[in-house]
Amino acid sequence: MVDTHILTGQGNRLPRKDNRGKIAFQGERGAYSEAAAYKYFGPSTELLPLRTLSEVFHAVEEREVRSAIVPVENSLEGSVSETYDLLRTTNVKVRGEVNLRIVHCLIARPNVALKDVKIVYSHPQALGQTRQFIEKRHLTPQPTYDTAGSVMMLKEASKSVAAIASAHAAEIYGMKVLKKGIEDNHNNYTRFFILSLRDAPKTGSDKTSIIFSAKHIPGSLYRILGEFAKRNLNLTKIESRPTRRTPWEYNFYLDFEGHRTDKKCVDALKQVQKKTVFLKVIGSYPKAEL
């Protein structure tokens, strides 16, 4: 049984008005979201760590921060479902994306050796990305609210406990890296969305993200996707998520190349709207590079 505080963490309260110039992210200092924020906004950016993704979205909606960064999918473990659910239920927009190479480290207190470790703390996504390493060494995984937060917890943990996080997190909290690069596949990237109340203007190299629910009739999804195909709009992602209203009914999350103001995109979205029960454009933004 995992302690509740391990799962939820003890993070920060919601931001006050004096944080309006900062960029919010979920987790503690040293989290991968922090590294992604510095990659996108620059090393001098003022950041605000928050406990949960819900708090991050709320901070943007209430104009308590100028922007935020959230993980949306990993190349090994797939999508971050909570991020997609919050994109559907809130009024925030996606105005950018950034890809970050993820290098996981096994981290422990300075007096701990690799042979001492029996239990490993980390965020569920990180535990999934290092599953082979964990199983090979017969370690017991315990999910936490954050990778860097799991390193913080080592200060009060026994010698049998280690954490999986970045080397930077180990440096911040005075811990030791026992082994570096423990991810199951080194082609390990996480894609992050930049959130704001408005999306980005057209650059000529853009993507658009939408959410829709298809009508519950044969061929409805086929006909929706055909609107993009006939206009030669390249789809870069499609995924389904339960609607949470009716069993076995789904919302679809779709990314395609182009800006929502491009004529081809405008025409496609008009036709898609006629064929859907629900359609939400969550933003157009410049395409990121690896």
List residues with catalytic annotation.
190, 192
Angle at 129 between CA 22 and CA 212, to 5 degrees: 65
Of 246, 197, 33, the C-alpha closest to 123 is 33
Between CA 162 and CA 176 the distance in angstroms is 10
179: Cβ–Cβ under 8 A, 6 or more apart, which residues?
105, 106, 114
CB-based contact 176:105 (threshold 8 Å): no
Between CA 282 and CA 83 the distance in angstroms is 12
CB-based contact 228:257 (threshold 8 Å): no
CB-based contact 161:154 (threshold 8 Å): yes
Structure tokens that stand for 285 in this block: 């933004």
